[in-house]
Amino acid sequence: MLPVHHAVRDETGMSTAEYAVGTVAAVGLAGILYKLLTSPEMRELLWMIIEKAITAFT
């Protein structure tokens, strides 16, 4: 028979589940960033920012 504190709160495997949730969240965020940064509108905006930064220092 399990001691009372083990029967009430058994967290075996919780760190694995937490890593899985964190991994899924990171992959989802990476996918969103990839789609944003490869869109033509975002590429144009980034290029404009880079051009302004270059002309500001010349």
pLDDT at 16 (0 to 100): 84
The pLDDT value given to residue 2: 55
The pLDDT of residue 37: 86
Domain boundaries, the chain: 13-56
Residue 5 CB partners (closer than 8 Å, separation 6+): none
Decide: 37 and 46 in contact? Cβ < 8 Å: yes
pLDDT tens digits along 1-55: 555 555 566 666 668 888 999 999 999 999 999 998 889 999 999 999 999 999 9
What DSSP letter does each residue of 1-58 carry, written as one string? Answer: ---HHHHH---TTHHHHHHHHHHHHHHHHHHHHHHHHTSHHHHHHHHHHHHHHHHHT-
